[in-house]
Structure 1
Amino acid sequence: MEKIFTALFCTDDQKVEYATYMLVDAADDWWYYARELLHQELGEGVPITWGRFKQAFLDRFFSQEFQEARARQFDELVQGTMTVKRYAAIFVELSHFASYLIPNEVKKAAKFERGLHPRIQSCLIPLRIRNFTDLVTRATLVEEDMRANAELSNKKKLNDGVPIT
């Protein structure tokens, strides 16, 4: 949903409205009552923010233990042997459970950068990229370049060992 919201430049109010429209079955039933409770809590006329909706949704459908486990996974997440794209996908998925660790774009980018493979990280640190999307794009390009150079090097090694006839 958030990917769609970003593409459509949705406001907080629109995000809540569109997301709740997509709820079905138990989630839809929950929202019917939760909306009233949130309005009572916030006060009539105060809109339910996207952040408040997400927190209420997580609290209802994911146990506190589950959320804490995911937050720990996010905190400890590093690229390791994953591709940059896979690392970014897991990063985004787990970040929903630990948004307090990355309260703004700069901290989000810095956290992602710290978890990158050291060889990729060393190419990006001097660039001081502080936008998450830009950082993922550049990290992917660096990874692809490293892969291409490794393949070229391996090809050269194979060719160097073959006598020319």
Structure 2
Amino acid sequence: MFEGGANPMVADDYMEQVETQLTSMNVTEDHLKIILATYKFTKDAKFWWKLITNQYKVEEVSRDKFKELFYKKYFPASNKWELKNQFISLIQGNMPVTEYENKFTSLSRFAPEMVSNEVDKVQKFISGLDYKMRPLLIAQGIKFYSEAVEKALMLEVEAKDKEARREQWR
């Protein structure tokens, strides 16, 4: 279901989910894609779609035009720019590695050119990690993102264990 609203990530997730479902169902005709995509609209999204259908004949709207209208309403360029900047400036800070990795993955879709290959993705991920972890991971010459995440998680567990032992000795 898609209600509309102000959260652009929800809109983008909805559109991605619809695209995946339509591809798996092998729907090829644009007007059928649009009918199926709008079938789950509720509340504000349903009202918005009614306004659009007053302006356009659904049969004459291409899939690309539908997506353009949808994104203009629910995910304007200013939001994309803001999310791209959030990715560019993303650092771990006080987040656990799992939370940092989830944000990294979620926001990376807005700056695909920065993670277009494994080397760039690994470098960007490591560069945002806690300053104590970075040199340890850089020195290992990690080539795969999954390996970088796994090793960062291991370093985090080790750091927590070390801190627990320190507290135990006090």
Q: Same fold (TM over 0.5)?
A: yes
Percent identity, aligned pairs only, is: 24
Following superposition, the deviation at residue 56 of structure 1 comes to 9.4
Distance 1:56 1:144 in 2: 47
8 Å Cα contact 1:91-1:112 kept in structure 2: yes
Q: Give the counterpart of 2:158 among 137, 145, 165.
A: 145
Question: In 2 relative to 1, CA 102–138 (structure 1 residues): closer, same or farther, beyond 3 Å?
Answer: same
Question: In 2 relative to 1, CA 37–66 (structure 1 residues): closer, same or farther, beyond 3 Å?
Answer: closer
Return 5+ residue gaps in structure 2 as ranges. 1-18, 28-32, 53-57
Within the alignment, does 1:93 sit opposite 2:106 as a pair? yes
Q: Give the counterpart of 2:134 among 91, 96, 121.
A: 121
Return 5+ residue gaps in structure 1 as ranges. 1-12, 39-52, 159-165
8 Å Cα contact 1:110-1:130 kept in structure 2: no
Residue identity in the other structure for 1:81: N
CA RMSD of aligned residues (A): 3.4
TM-score (norm 2): 0.62
State the structure with bigger RCO (CA 8 A, min sep 6), 1 or 2.
2
Question: In 2 relative to 1, CA 86–36 (structure 1 residues): closer, same or farther, beyond 3 Å?
Answer: closer
Paired residues, number: 129
TM-score (norm 1): 0.64
Distance 1:59 1:152 in 2: 54
Following superposition, the deviation at residue 35 of structure 1 comes to 2.7
Dislocated runs of 4+, deviation >2 Å: 13-16, 18-27, 29-38, 55-61
